[in-house]
Structure 1
Amino acid sequence: MSRVLTTAVAVVPITHSILPRCLRLSNLPPSLTATSHTRTFRRRFFSLYNFRAVSSPVKAGFDVFGDGGSIVQDTGATALVIAGAYALVSTFDFLSERNLIEQNLSRKLVHIISGLLFMASWPIFSASRWARYFASVVPLTNCLRLVTHGLSLVTDEGLIKSVTREGKPEELLRGPLYYVLVLILSAVLFWRESPVGVVSLAMMCGGDGIADIVGRRFGSTKIPYNKQKSWAGSLSMFVFGFLVSIGMLYYFSALGYFHLDWVSTVERVAVVSFVATMVESLPITGTVDDNISVPLVSMVVASLAFA
């Protein structure tokens, strides 16, 4: 028995000294060092759905930023999302070039899917305060691509057909460019810690994107104050903008980035969806592109609603 105690006295300090500093008992919060709080300790440090509860997460990879972020993780996530975005656009380029899908439908499907997948990828980035800037590299890459093709510095007919209305390179410098700029703005300003950015992108991608598809096919009855918009399109924007927003909010809430009172959340999202739908229906498209008006109005209303 005495040998066991002697061994323990020698081994425990050595083992404790080689542990990462953030896991040593002397550096843990006082509320987590007592054995009576073992369940709390496990919940805070090992929960699959609570990524923000840990004040000092275990540092992995190359901790060059000093706040637990991993440059390896963020670089890998950025490369993965860029590859996915390129594959998505290339797929619709291929389909539209071979007339397997209508050009307008291809453009809107890229509009809907790419933004939502970009937002859904945010959880794979690290907890570093710089992670949002790594994520922003993805739409920034697309931004540079649109500018070079829009200025005809490089020619890519497939890209032009898949994301423009009339197949003209200069169109890339309008709606598509505004679209990726909003993605950058939402990631940098709001990131995954605020419902505002989530709702704004959901309204731009899901609501506005689906409204155009439905409006073109079933929009025979036009809105009196704007003959270019239909009741079917506006109704679909309100419904799908609302549903996509709720779905994405639930996604981030389930992962623990924020906690919401769902009764009031449903009401607030309905208000944002209604206001965004009204703005989208106005005859101002020739002056202000929907990819600017819809997300910016959504940001303002959602900021007030979730304040």
Structure 2
Amino acid sequence: MPKAVIMHLASGAATTAALSFTHPPFSLLRRRVRLRPRLHKSPLSPTPVWATPLFHCSPSVPRHLLLAPYDLSSAAAGGGISAELLQDAGATALVMAGAYSLVSAFDNLTQNNLIEQSLSRKLVHILSGLLFVASWPIFSTSIEARYFASLVPLVNCLRLVIHGLSLATDEGLIKSVTREGKPEELLRGPLYYVLILISCALLFWRESPIGVISLAMMCGGDGVADIMGRRFGSLKLPYNQKKSWAGSISMFVFGFLVSIGMLYYFSALGYFQMDLVWTVERVALVSLVATVVESLPITGVVDDNISVPLASMVTAFLSFG
């Protein structure tokens, strides 16, 4: 074969090889873009969402310039509202609406003379605190959750201060939560009550049995003791003629039962573990101490809404650690 022909064929083969290296055949391109789909999770769906990545036709395009599937979770973390914030805000609005509806319902019952003022006051005392504690699990696991929950009694605290100072008038509120129907009474027992709710939520929250027991004794124990004492309290205590055996026994029994029930409720939801025998013994001790403190003739010095939960806190702290 002539030398010129050999050189021509050699140069053609080199050119073809170079073109094949820089521009691969279409069959190779098809093989290259058959990538495994990349799995990413969407915050809008609990199940994984399959997204096929965009492919490129030239190996010369830098990898960082290629388009990628849009990640909604990173966008929410970068500038959106977090799911915990939305959950806590919604839970706060729900609990606040429930608390307002509860007090308004008893206001109407009292104004229409369908229920006695003293009974209405104590039912609000019992139900509002226990329902507030029972609502804690609907808040998120964030650190700020307890502060959102505390907004509910804080709003009621401001409401009591405004009406207690006669800056505004609400006869239904005064009749439903006071003994004698005087606005200044709102600044004593009812105000101490909501301050204890705020303190237990901020200091103990739902991971500690101390706050749960303290509120159960103040709401369930002390509240039922007053109702039972008024109905069946003819036999008075020897050291306090304003308290009765029926009221003190009811205080111990119902404070104990409500505390155990609330502890079981939070334990079932996984906030803490509860050994039944060990817990019963310590809750019984807390109930006994709270009952003795409630029966003492010190109401004129220290309100029951302060003495009972504080005694319960100290005893529960020493018992549970």
Query: Which range, TM-score by smaller chain?
Result: 0.7 to 0.9
What secondary structure sits across from 2:226 in the alignment?
Answer: helix
Q: CA RMSD in A?
A: 2.4
Q: Confirm whether residue 234 of structure 1 aligns to residue 248 of structure 2.
A: yes
Q: 1:127 to 1:219 in 2, by over 3 A?
A: same
Q: 1:15 aligns with which of 39, 44, 49?
A: 39
What secondary structure sits across from 1:286 in the alignment?
Answer: coil
User: Number of aligned pairs?
Assistant: 262
Q: Which residue of 2 aligns with 1:191?
A: 205
Q: Confirm whether residue 302 of structure 1 aligns to residue 294 of structure 2.
A: no
**For residue 132 of structure 1, what is the amino acid of its counterpart?**
R
Q: Which residue of 2 aligns with 1:250?
A: 264
Q: 1:91 to 1:266 in 2, by over 3 A?
A: same
Give CA deviations for 1:195-225 in whole Å, capped at 9, x if unaligned: 0000000000000000000000100000000
Query: What is the 5 A alignment of 1:206-221?
Result: 206-221=220-235
Q: 1:283 aligns with which of 276, 288, 297?
A: 297
Task: Tell me the CA shift for residue 257 of structure 1.
Answer: 0.4
Q: In 1, distance between residues paired with 2:136 and 2:75? A: 19
Contact kept, 8 Å, 1:60 with 1:70, in 2: the verdict is no
Task: Tell me the CA shift for residue 275 of structure 1.
Answer: 0.1
Q: In 1, distance between residues paired with 2:33 and 2:239? A: 82
Q: In 2, distance between residues paired with 1:283 and 1:88? A: 32
Q: Which residue of 1 aligns with 2:167?
A: 153
Structure 2 unpaired stretches of 5+: 1-30, 47-72
Q: In 2, distance between residues paired with 1:163 and 1:220? A: 25
What secondary structure sits across from 2:241 in the alignment?
Answer: strand
Task: Tell me the CA shift for residue 10 of structure 1.
Answer: 2.5
Q: In 1, distance between residues paired with 2:208 and 2:161? A: 30
Percent identity at matched positions?
74
Give CA deviations for 1:170-215 in whole Å, capped at 9, x if unaligned: 0000000000000000000000000000000000000000000000
Q: 1:181 to 1:223 in 2, by over 3 A?
A: same
**For residue 216 of structure 1, what is the amino acid of its counterpart?**
R
Task: Tell me the CA shift for residue 11 of structure 1.
Answer: 3.0
Q: Which residue of 2 aligns with 1:180?
A: 194
Q: In 2, distance between residues paired with 1:60 and 1:173? A: 48
**For residue 124 of structure 1, what is the amino acid of its counterpart?**
I
Task: Tell me the CA shift for residue 8 of structure 1.
Answer: 11
Q: 1:204 aligns with which of 218, 227, 235?
A: 218
**For residue 108 of structure 2, what is the amino acid of its counterpart?**
F
**Larger RCO: Structure 1 or Structure 2 (Cα < 8 Å, ≥ 6 residues apart)?**
1
Give CA deviations for 1:108-146 in whole Å, capped at 9, x if unaligned: 000000000000000000000100000000000000000
